[in-house]
Amino acid sequence: MGSLIYGSPSLEIAFDDRVLAHVQIVMATKLRRGENFFFSWRESGGVGRNAIWIDSSIPLYFRYSGSRHPEIDRDWLEQLAVLASSSQGLDLTDETRLGSAPPATASIPR
C-alpha cells in the first residue's frame, strides 16, 4: 500500500501502488497544464466518499511501498483522464470494470 500525501498539514490517503501510479500520471498531466480539479474516492468497505481540491499550490507527495514501477493500463488511464476533465472531477474508478465501475476505495489512516 502506497500513500498520496496532500496539503499542509498533510492528509495521507492509502492506495494500492498500482492505483497510485495511475492517479499520479493523471494528476501530473492536469497540474502541468495548470488545471485544478476535484479528486474523489470511496472509503475502504464502500462506506463514505471523500473529495479534495487538487491545486498546484498545495504540496503533493506520492509514496510507494514497492520499489518497482507498476504496469500502466492505458485504457484505465484514459478513462481517469476523461473523468478528471469533467465538471465532477477525477472520481477514482476501479480498473477491473471500465465504463460502469464504482469508485475504487482508499483509506485515510486515523
Arithmetic mean of pLDDT over the chain: 87
For the chain, what are the domain ranges?
2-106
Confidence class of residue 63 from pLDDT cuts 50, 70 and 90?
very high
Q: How far is CA 87 from CA 9, 10, 36, 57, in A?
A: 27, 26, 11, 20
- Whether 102 contacts 94, CB under 8 Å: yes
What is the tens place of the pLDDT at every residue in 90-108?
Answer: 999 877 655 544 445 555 5
Better pLDDT: 104 or 24: 24
CA distance 80 to 26: 7
Long-range contacts (CB closer than 8 Å, 24 or more residues apart) made by 65-68? 65/1, 65/2, 65/17, 66/2, 66/17
- Whether 92 contacts 23, CB under 8 Å: yes
For the whole prediction, is pTM greater than 0.95? no
Better pLDDT: 11 or 48: 11
